[in-house]
Amino acid sequence: MERVIDLLLGWVKEDEGYLDLASFPLRGTHANAHVILKTPNVVVSGIGVVVALCHRLGIEASPLVRDGEFLKETKAVLELSGDAYQVLVTERTILNVMAVMSGTATVTRRFSEKLRHARIAATRKVLPGMGLLQKIAVLHGGGDPHRLNLSECVMIKDNHLKLYGGVEKAIREVRRWCSFAKKIEVEVENLKDALEAVRCGVDIVMLDNLSPKEVKEISEKVKALNPNVVIEVSGGINEENLPLYDLETVDVISTSEITMNIQKVDLSLEVNGRG
């Protein structure tokens, strides 16, 4: 969390610049304010992050809802109390963070509710600078964040296979350098490579850019060979075709739609007056 807060403190300072001249005369004045959610049917996300940010800035922040809570109606979600200058220069960072995180969580929930068998997961395609925050929001929306960075799981992708010279060689070379504690995932686009990866003892097989029919055929044969292998499906999956990939033999569906095509969420900060 400290890493996230340090990032947000930089955004506050960037927005403030040298000095907010409109707010400067209010330094030392105590202000009370509320953050208002103005969009209905939203999964709230970012409350915990914003509370931690405010704590570092000396602003008292009291949550009125919980992260992951689905709100059908518009309402106040956070109460703020502190130095008026600090509240005003932090306003836009608070609203931007909560808008992106809540928008991400809301879309994630929508995707997740369409699935019966598989779990929805994010990818590393995220809004610039917002990656970790969006991964947290995916959790609030009921999804899986997938890898937070490249070191968390050994994922052998198509370009790796080209450079190593095939599935077996890639797995053999990578396994020499990784700990037994790391899971190994291989991205494949055909049955031959999928079965070869399973025979080499990988933990996860990602079926990439395949049709639902191809996914069904390959995933069934992979599970028949080793039912413990996790099947992940990715590539071109959106809200419309998502149910077609929700097969009994598919464990995870990953898509950038939940982080790159997020719902617009409108929030505002309204000062109630001097405290």
Of the pLDDT bands very low, low, confident and very high (cuts 50, 70, 90), residue 86 is very high
User: Which pLDDT belongs to residue 172?
Assistant: 96
User: Each residue of 196-213: pLDDT tens digit?
Assistant: 999 999 999 999 999 999
Q: Indicate whether 76 pLDDT > 80.
A: yes
CATH class held by domain 2-111+262-274: alpha beta
- Give the C-alpha separation, 221 to 198, whole Å: 10
Q: What is the mean pLDDT of residues 141-155?
A: 94
User: Which pLDDT belongs to residue 275?
Assistant: 62
User: Which pLDDT belongs to residue 3?
Assistant: 84
Q: Indicate whether 236 pLDDT > 80.
A: yes
Which stretches does DSSP call E strand in 85-228?
Answer: 119-121, 154-156, 184-188, 204-208
Q: What is the mean pLDDT of residues 238-246?
A: 97
**Burial class of residue 107, CB neighbours in 10 A (0-12, 13-18, 19+):** buried
Q: Indicate whether 100 pLDDT > 70.
A: yes
Judge whether 2-111+262-274 and 153-255 match in fold: no
Q: Collect all residues with Cβ–Cβ distance below 8 Å to 153 and sequence separation of at least 6.
A: 147, 182, 183, 184, 185, 204
Q: Indicate whether 1 pLDDT > 80.
A: no
- 3-state class (DSSP) for residue 200: coil
Q: What is the pTM of this model?
A: 0.94
Of the pLDDT bands very low, low, confident and very high (cuts 50, 70, 90), residue 42 is very high
User: Each residue of 61-74: pLDDT tens digit?
Assistant: 999 999 999 999 99
- Give the C-alpha separation, 190 to 176, whole Å: 25
Cα 225–chain centre separation? 32
- Give the CATH superfamily of 153-255: Aldolase class I (3.20.20.70)
Question: Are 271 and 33 a contacting pair, CB within 8 Å?
Answer: yes
Q: Indicate whether 273 pLDDT > 80.
A: no
Q: What is the mean pLDDT of the chain?
A: 96
- Domain ranges in the chain? 2-111+262-274, 153-255
Question: Are 215 and 252 a contacting pair, CB within 8 Å?
Answer: no
Of the pLDDT bands very low, low, confident and very high (cuts 50, 70, 90), residue 4 is confident
